[in-house]
């Protein structure tokens, strides 16, 4: 037995000559260091060289998912492709907004928030969706009746991306909220509330982009192009908003392979 142990398992922890009792039993808890090391060697020698996992192919097939994504954006519907001049103007406007935000961030951060503005914690995905979109959009309730007076109940209509709010968001929060809303947008329709927040969050992203932010904005642009194509009744205002987001991602953040070809 000992010769087999020496052949299969070279000594990484050498065991010197020791007087082991004739009745040494490896199954009994060791009483000395020498007995412990000898027991380890014997157990290791008994391990098979190859271990095969038992996998049920049926369960594996059920859980397999295949994600297919195109490298670029889907072309704009005929007659809705933005001109190069329009795209360049949007990039210039967006750049000015970012410069103003950076310049006055400290001022807006110092402004007091209304008592009803309770910004969710970073990891509160559902809380941020409700905060940005409002309970009406989040719960997908029907349009409110004409005689219902919402007033300034932002819990129902969602908080707009006020400068006093977004200026308080660090990059981790900006990236997380952007991810939460993109996940929402992946399964829901485009709304003005969503568009305003996407614009504001993109304006708060710092360059150079972190890898996760880079991936998120590309995902956002692709989703905008999908919704733009699937829009049955081409709402010019909505298509323009989707064009704007694609334009900013592709041309301001240098994702040129996603850009719309000028009409």
Establish if 65 belongs to a structural domain: no
189 within some domain: yes
CA dist., res. 8 & res. 44, Å (int): 9
Task: Assess if residue 179 is contained within a domain.
Answer: yes
Residue 109 CA: distances (Å) to CA of 35, 74, 168: 68, 39, 6
Considering its fold, how many domains does the chain have in total?
1
Within-domain flag for 42: no
User: Does some domain include residue 231?
Assistant: yes
Q: What is the spatial distance between Cα 198 and Cα 177, in angstroms, rounded to a whole number?
A: 10
The backbone region for 240, taken as left when phi is positive above 0, alpha when psi lies in -120 to 50, beta otherwise, is alpha
Q: Render pLDDT for 7-23 as a digit per residue (tens, 0 to 9).
A: 555 555 555 555 667 67
The pLDDT averaged over each successive group of 10 residues in the chain (263 residues) is 50 59 74 75 74 67 49 83 95 96 91 87 94 81 49 74 93 96 93 95 94 95 93 81 96 94 74
Spatial neighbors of 15 by CB under 8 A, at least 6 apart, are 34, 37, 38, 41
Range of the domain at 120: 84-140+154-258
pTM of the entire structure? 0.69
CATH of the domain at 187: 1.20.58.1070
Q: Say if 235 falls within a structural domain.
A: yes
Asked if the structure places residue 228 within a domain, the reply is yes
* 171 part of a folded domain: yes
In the chain, % of residues over pLDDT 70: 78
């Amino acid at each position: 037995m000992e010769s087999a142990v020496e052949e299969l398992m070279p000594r990484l922890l050498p065991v010197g000559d020791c007087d082991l009792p004739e009745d040494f039993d490896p199954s009994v808890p060791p009483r000395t260091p020498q007995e412990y090391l000898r027991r380890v060697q014997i157990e290791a020698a008994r391990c098979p060289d190859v271990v095969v996992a038992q996998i049920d192919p049926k369960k594996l097939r059920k859980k397999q998912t295949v994600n297919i994504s195109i490298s670029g954006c889907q072309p704009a519907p005929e007659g809705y492709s933005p001109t190069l001049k329009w795209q360049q103007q949007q990039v210039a406007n967006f750049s000015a907004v970012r410069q103003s935000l950076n310049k006055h961030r400290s001022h807006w951060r110092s402004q007091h928030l209304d008592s009803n503005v309770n910004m969710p914690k970073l990891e509160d995905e559902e809380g941020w969706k409700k905060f940005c979109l409002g309970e009406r959009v989040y719960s997908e309730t029907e349009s409110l009746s004409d005689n219902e007076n919402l007033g300034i109940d932002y819990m129902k209509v969602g908080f707009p991306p006020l400068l006093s709010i977004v200026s308080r968001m660090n990059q981790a929060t900006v990236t997380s909220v952007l991810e939460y809303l993109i996940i929402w947008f992946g399964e829901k329709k485009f709304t003005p509330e969503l568009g305003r927040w996407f614009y504001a969050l993109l304006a708060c992203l710092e360059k150079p982009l972190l890898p996760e932010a880079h991936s998120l904005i590309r995902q956002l642009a692709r989703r905008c192009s999908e919704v733009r194509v699937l829009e049955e009744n081409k709402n010019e205002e909505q298509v323009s908003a989707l064009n704007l987001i694609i334009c900013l991602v592709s041309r301001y953040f240098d994702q040129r392979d996603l850009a719309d070809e000028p009409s």
